[in-house]
């Protein structure tokens, strides 16, 4: 099963398959039901969280002749699912930025659909349009023909002019939680007959940085190599990530003030060609977790997203090692050294310095 196939196979076909955007989906379902669909929408939010997917679902629902819309059974729905509906026009504003493209669009918008009721124009990455193009688009949005619905999608709504925004219904898509990403990954793995362990799913979700699309393509990539079972170690290996266990080890060596062993561990990670800024970032997350858990153990849910359960256990067990005043100083040490990765002639040096400063400066008597 290739990445592409996986991605197409699991593209949501109805509203209830869209995860974690209930505030948007609820409003769209209602609008379709009540026949109160706006002429223009603005869908904003991070990459790969369902903006284009939701716009396509809206288009399909608006042209569906079934009872539950979209029914996924009528001719129009089938056309949409096969990607051959004439009533869906998708424009990528990143590569069609100019006024000519928008003028062309204004011309074509006038024609009523050959079949079905609505033509839906999705303008992706709309913030990329030139000022002239925005002005031309504004004219269309001011007097849209009855059959036309515009969905403007963007990852950067700050760059969309207020005049445009005021003509639209604006919905902000949120970044999904790790549990929402892993839930979907587990579902996909299950229906492909693949066993994916919890930590493995979490590592994929973390690597995808909040994007459903990226998490799916990573899963596809891994499934192309590993067929029946996927473990955390295999996920790390295929993504080229250092074992999280070695980073936990590094944290513990620092607390034990074992500089030689810590330096040796860094040398091993470096020899294996691992991304050391990634190690540094995870170390930062460890200390941030210490900060929160020291302040109040009830704050755990806030930091739990970025860490694995076994990592949280280790951190909790080590809390007595920290004097109150030293945590923010340690965080500053790790944070400041992140900047050094960009200009260091020796790739592992910033991490080595971090570890030495953390070990050397840890004076629990002075706070």
Ligand X SMILES: Nc1ncnc2c1ncn2[C@@H]1O[C@H](COP(=O)(O)OP(=O)(O)OP(=O)(O)O)[C@@H](O)[C@H]1O
Footprint of ligand X (CB under 6 A): 7, 10-12, 18-21, 47-53, 124, 153, 155, 184, 212-213, 216
Q: Extract the runs of DSSP E, i.e. beta strands, from the chain.
A: 40-44, 88-92, 119-124, 148-154, 169-172, 195-196, 229-230
Give 77 or 303: the residue with its C-beta nearer to Zn ion.
77
Give 68 or 268: the residue with its C-beta nearer to Zn ion.
68
Query: Is 71 a residue that touches Zn ion (CB under 5 A)?
Result: yes
Distance between CA 82 and CA 124 in Å, rounded?
20
Residues between 43 and 102 that touch Mg ion (CB under 5 A): 51-52
Question: By CB under 5 A, which span of 29-37, 62-70, 253-261, 359-367 interacts with Zn ion?
Answer: 62-70
Query: Is 59 a residue that touches Zn ion (CB under 5 A)?
Result: no
In the complex, what is the shortest distance from the CB of residue 4 to ligand X, in angstroms, rounded to a whole number? 11
123: nearest Cα among 85, 147, 88, 158? 88
- At 150 the three-state DSSP class reads strand
Q: Which two tokens stand for residue 263?
A: 């330096």
In the complex, what is the shortest distance from the CB of residue 33 to Zn ion, in angstroms, rounded to a whole number? 14
Task: Calculate the alpha carbon distances from 191 to 1, 9, 17, 187 in Å.
Answer: 12, 11, 15, 6
Query: Is 344 a residue that touches Mg ion (CB under 5 A)?
Result: no
Residue 20 is classified by DSSP as: S
Distance between CA 2 and CA 28 in Å, rounded?
32
Instruction: Report the residue number whose CB is nearest to Mg ion.
Output: 52
Query: Is 135 a residue that touches Mg ion (CB under 5 A)?
Result: no
Query: Is 245 a residue that touches Mg ion (CB under 5 A)?
Result: no
In the complex, what is the shortest distance from the CB of residue 187 to Zn ion, in angstroms, rounded to a whole number? 24
Give 52 or 245: the residue with its C-beta nearer to Mg ion.
52
Give 77 or 334: the residue with its C-beta nearer to Zn ion.
77
Distance between CA 141 and CA 151 in Å, rounded?
11
Give 212 or 274: the residue with its C-beta nearer to Mg ion.
212
Provide the total of helices (H) and of strands (E) in the chain, helices listed first: 18, 7
* Interface with Mg ion (CB under 5 A): 51-52
């Amino acid at each position: 099963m290739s990445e592409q196939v996986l991605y197409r196979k699991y593209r949501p076909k109805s509203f209830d398959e869209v995860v974690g955007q209930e505030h948007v989906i609820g409003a769209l379902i209602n609008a379709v039901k009540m026949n109160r669909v706006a002429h223009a929408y603005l869908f904003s939010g991070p990459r790969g969280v369902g903006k284009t997917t939701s716009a396509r679902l809206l288009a399909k629902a608006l042209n569906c002749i079934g009872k539950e819309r979209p029914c996924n059974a009528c001719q129009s729905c089938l056309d949409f699912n096969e990607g051959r509906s004439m009533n869906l026009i998708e424009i990528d504003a990143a590569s069609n930025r100019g006024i000519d493209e928008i003028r062309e669009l204004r011309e074509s918008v006038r024609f009523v659909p050959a079949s079905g009721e609505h033509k839906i124009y999705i303008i992706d990455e709309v913030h990329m349009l030139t000022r002239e193009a925005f002005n031309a688009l504004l004219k269309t949005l001011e007097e849209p023909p009855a059959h036309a619905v515009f969905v403007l999608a963007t990852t950067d709504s700050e760059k969309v002019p207020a005049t445009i925004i005021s003509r639209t219904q604006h919905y902000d898509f949120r970044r999904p939680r790790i549990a929402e990403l892993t839930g979907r990954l587990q579902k996909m793995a299950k229906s492909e007959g693949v066993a994916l362990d919890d930590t493995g799913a979490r590592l994929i979700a973390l690597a995808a940085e909040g994007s459903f699309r990226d998490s799916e393509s990573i899963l596809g990539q891994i499934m192309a190599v590993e067929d029946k079972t996927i473990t955390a170690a295999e996920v790390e290996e295929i993504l080229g990530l250092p074992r999280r266990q070695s980073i936990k080890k590094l944290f513990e060596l620092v607390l034990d003030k074992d500089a030689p062993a810590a330096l040796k561990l860094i040398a091993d990670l470096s020899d294996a060609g691992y991304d050391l800024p990634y190690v540094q970032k995870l170390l930062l997350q460890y200390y941030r977790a210490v900060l929160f858990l020291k302040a109040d153990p009830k704050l755990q849910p806030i930091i739990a997203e970025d860490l694995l359960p076994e990592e949280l256990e280790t951190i909790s067990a080590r809390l007595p090692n920290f004097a109150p005043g030293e945590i923010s100083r340690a965080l500053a040490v790790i944070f400041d050294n992140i900047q050094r990765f960009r200009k260091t002639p020796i790739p592992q040096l910033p991490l080595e310095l971090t570890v030495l400063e953390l070990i050397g400066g840890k004076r629990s008597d002075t706070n």
